[in-house]
Amino acid sequence: MDLPRIFTLRESSHRLHNPFTPGKLAVLGEALRLEPGTRVLDLASGSGEMLCTWARDHGVTGTGVDISTVFTGQARARAAELGVADRVTFVHGDATGHVSDEPVDLAACVGATWIGNGVAGTVELLGRSLRPGGLMLIGEPYWRRDVPDRETAEACLAGGPDDFLALPELIGHFGTLGYDVVEMVLADQDSWDRYQAAQWLNLRRWLDAHPDDELAAEVRAELTTEPVRYTRYQREYLGWGVFALMAR
């Protein structure tokens, strides 16, 4: 049980595995007015940057669950580096279906709603761990502009134009699920650039060091096509944000 190797190669330098800068993550933590001792469950927690920095800056405690052995190891190392290993725990496991043993104050899935087969299923899953009156965080893409055709949608790594919603429709969708949107912090094109473009340097340096690896041809093909695909389509059409929800 693990992520494909190509994924961890792409994001080998990333602490955040979404188009969020450290500054935006800090803004989100401040916006939520987190209290010391807030109990957090972070599903698909990646390299643990959210839990670790919020434990340092706001005194939260909690658990992260992620399918990647590499990212889980990085999360544990980050907790030790920031001196918060006594407050946060990282578990290697499949976040799909994971429910906390005890209700938490904040339940999050930031950028991996596939664990619930989409937004609605992920909201339902997180709700099973959340105490009454608690906060839920969902990180999710949305369309910044009308998508003209299926080709454009697929170039944005969607199955089709209906895979994502425009921002107002996404906000409305949360309402139909019985939740108020009480905060949001959105990625911008600069934070998308820092997420995507950093991957190209990661891949190029890896390729130069491992020209005979079994993944070398795949990495070379990706380096050849990805910068054009991203700048022509994804940068223009795809937004991303983290939305804070409270049950009505």
Q: What is the pLDDT of residues 92-127, one digit of tens each?
A: 999 999 999 999 999 999 999 999 999 999 999 999
CA 221 – CA 234 distance, rounded (Å):
18
CA-CA distance, 35 to 192, in Å (whole number)?
Answer: 30
Question: CA-CA distance, 133 to 126, in Å (whole number)?
Answer: 13
CB within 8 Å of 214: residues ≥ 6 apart: none
- In SS3 terms, 97-145 reads as CCCCCCCEEEEEEECCHHHHCCHHHHHHHHHCCEEEEEEEEEEEEEECC
Number of domains making up the chain: 1
- 10 Å CB burial of residue 27 (0-12, 13-18, 19+) is middle
**Closest alpha carbon to 26 in 46, 44, 52:** 52
| Cα–Cα distance measured from residue 243 to residue 165, given in angstroms and rounded to the nearest whole number | 14
Q: What's the pLDDT tens digit per position in 71-91?
A: 999 999 999 999 999 999 999
Residue 65, SS3?
A: strand
Q: pLDDT at position 2, please?
A: 86
8 A C-beta contact, residue 44 and residue 214: no
Provide the percentage of residues in the chain whose pLDDT is more than 70.
100
Q: Is the pLDDT of residue 1 over 80?
A: no
Cα–Cα dist 115/94, whole Å? 8
Q: What's the pLDDT score for residue 50?
A: 98
Spatial contact of 76 and 90, defined as CB atoms under 8 Å apart:
yes
Domain that residue 180 falls in? 5-247
- Indicate which CATH number applies to the domain containing 134: 3.40.50.150
Whether 138 contacts 116, CB under 8 Å:
no
What is the reported pLDDT for 201? Answer: 97
SS3 assignment, position 231: helix
